[in-house]
Amino acid sequence: MGKKEQKDHAAAEQFERAKLREQFDRIDTDGSGKVDKFELKFLLRKVTGSTPTDDEVEAIMQDIDTSGDGLVDFSEF
């Protein structure tokens, strides 16, 4: 990969990371820097139009909460 392609690739990665950060910040409604089960449930309700069960939210949270602290930070997102 040439220098121009490397710069283009790096710029694209930076753009994608910024977009992901923007999405994360929208989900993190309390601005804590972490997404909790309530914020996840609200997001799922908004996206799907139906309210997920607590078990469904818990299962999703366990899939993405790699640290096991019950919260999703940006690096896990």
Question: Domain of 17: which CATH number?
Answer: 1.10.238.10
Q: Pinpoint the alpha helices (H) of the chain.
A: 3-27, 37-48, 54-64
- % the chain with pLDDT above 70: 99
* Whole-number average pLDDT of the chain: 92
Host domain of residue 32:
3-73
Is residue 5 within 8 A of residue 62, CB to CB? The reply is no
pLDDT at 57: 96
Report the phi/psi class of residue 50: left, alpha or beta, with left for phi > 0 and alpha for psi in -120 to 50.
beta
Span 12-22, pLDDT tens digits? 888 998 998 99
Is residue 10 within 8 A of residue 30, CB to CB? The reply is no
Span 36-64, pLDDT tens digits? 999 999 999 999 999 999 999 999 999 99
Number of structural domains in the chain: 1
